[in-house]
Amino acid sequence: MSELGDLYHENFRKLRPYFPVLALCGVATMVFVLFAFLVMPRALDPRVLYFPPADPLDAKPVAGKPIPPMDVAAMLAGSPELVAAGKSEYAIQCQSCHGPEGKGNGPAGLALNPRPRNFTVPDGWKTGYKITDIYHTLSEGLGAVMPAFDVLSPEKRFALAHYVQSLGGFNHGPEDATAVAFLNQNYHLSEGGREPNRVSVPFMMAYLAEREQPAGAIPLPPESDGSDEARLLRRAVADPARVARTLERAAGWQVSSASLAEIALAGSPANGVSAAVGTLSRTQWEQLRTSLLEHLSRKNQP
């Protein structure tokens, strides 16, 4: 036993300097195992991967799709399938404010004043609780209280209306024939139609800037025109309407670039002329005078 004990102590003494390294390797192995089996599967799950949302202002223009004619009577009657579809849509569009049971106690609605509608009771409905009423509310909204959901298709709005109505156990009563006729006529349900085209804000702003000028303004060339003349005109004119009024009241600039420079520099920028004209050369002033004459004559053409 003494020999075995001496051998044990001798081996222990030799291995003791390596204990910290072995302990560190053990800890590293445990961290790797935990990371591989717990963290990585979660990180690679497509449901939790973060993708920066696309900016809706930069969305590409989308042409509206045709809306087929609808059987209004069938939509008003409803069906279990329609209610089920409305439940799915409710979870996406309404639950955060109105709550999962429609009691107006959703987390997003707690700070709202007035509080979101409680669909389970017949009191306090601003436009009524019949299917026609709910459809109208979804289509038009309630001003600052609730936005309109007119981006939803008519089928989804009817489905939502039926599910919202199903949340209240009280008697909602029959539909009014006049309200049904108004709903059908106002939203062209039985006729069908077409969704509105959707364009981004930057696209529309650029479109209007290139094609629309204020009444009486100098018709500036669009940004797509990269000629020297067009760039010079856009550089010099800050407010096309003010520049047009200034030139109409001034005299002499039509025949002399020096007179144009004196008029422009004396009243800039209040007269609509950009402060950048202070850096123009004599040749550029002459080019600007020629361009203004051409554009003003084009503006005055019938």
- CATH number, position 109: 1.10.760.10
Q: Do 76 and 35 share a domain, yes or no?
A: no
Q: Do 73 and 165 share a domain, yes or no?
A: yes
Q: Do 183 and 221 share a domain, yes or no?
A: no
pLDDT (0 to 100) of residue 93 = 92
Q: Do 73 and 131 share a domain, yes or no?
A: yes
Evaluate whether residue 286 is within a structural domain: yes
Evaluate whether residue 48 is within a structural domain: no
Q: Are 158 and 166 in contact, with CB atoms under 8 Å apart?
A: no
Q: Do 184 and 221 share a domain, yes or no?
A: no
pLDDT (0 to 100) of residue 41 = 55
Q: Do 237 and 163 share a domain, yes or no?
A: no
pLDDT (0 to 100) of residue 184 = 93
CA atoms of 132 and 81, how far apart (whole Å): 19
Evaluate whether residue 137 is within a structural domain: yes
pLDDT (0 to 100) of residue 117 = 93
pLDDT (0 to 100) of residue 175 = 95
Whether the model clears a pTM of 0.75, i.e. scores above it, the answer is no
Q: What is the mean pLDDT of residues 268-288?
A: 88
Q: Do 227 and 287 share a domain, yes or no?
A: yes
Evaluate whether residue 271 is within a structural domain: yes
Evaluate whether residue 236 is within a structural domain: yes
pLDDT at position 158 over 70: yes
pLDDT (0 to 100) of residue 243 = 86
Pairwise pLDDT comparison (36 vs 21), residue with the higher score? 21
Tens digit of each residue's pLDDT (9 = 90 or more) over 195-225: 777 777 777 776 666 555 555 677 778 888 8
Domain that holds residue 38: 2-43
Evaluate whether residue 224 is within a structural domain: yes
Per DSSP, the residues of the chain read -HHHHHHHHHHHHHHGGGHHHHHHHHHHHHHHHHIIIIIHHHHT-TTT---PPPPGGGPPPBPPPEE----HHHHHH--HHHHHHHHHHHHHHTHHHH-TTSSS--GGGTT-SSPPP-TTSSS--SS-SSHHHHHHHHHH--TTSS---TTS-HHHHHHHHHHHHHT--S---PPPHHHHHHHHHHHTTTT-EEPPPB--HHHHHHHHHHH---TT---PPPTT--SHHHHHHHHHBS-HHHHHHHHHH--STTT-HHHHHHHHHHHTTTTSB-GGGGG--HHHHHHHHHHHHHHHHHHT--
pLDDT (0 to 100) of residue 11 = 63
pLDDT (0 to 100) of residue 254 = 87
Q: Are 54 and 130 in contact, with CB atoms under 8 Å apart?
A: no
Q: Do 232 and 126 share a domain, yes or no?
A: no
Evaluate whether residue 63 is within a structural domain: no
Domain count, the chain: 3
Last residue of a domain, one of 191, 225, 256: 191
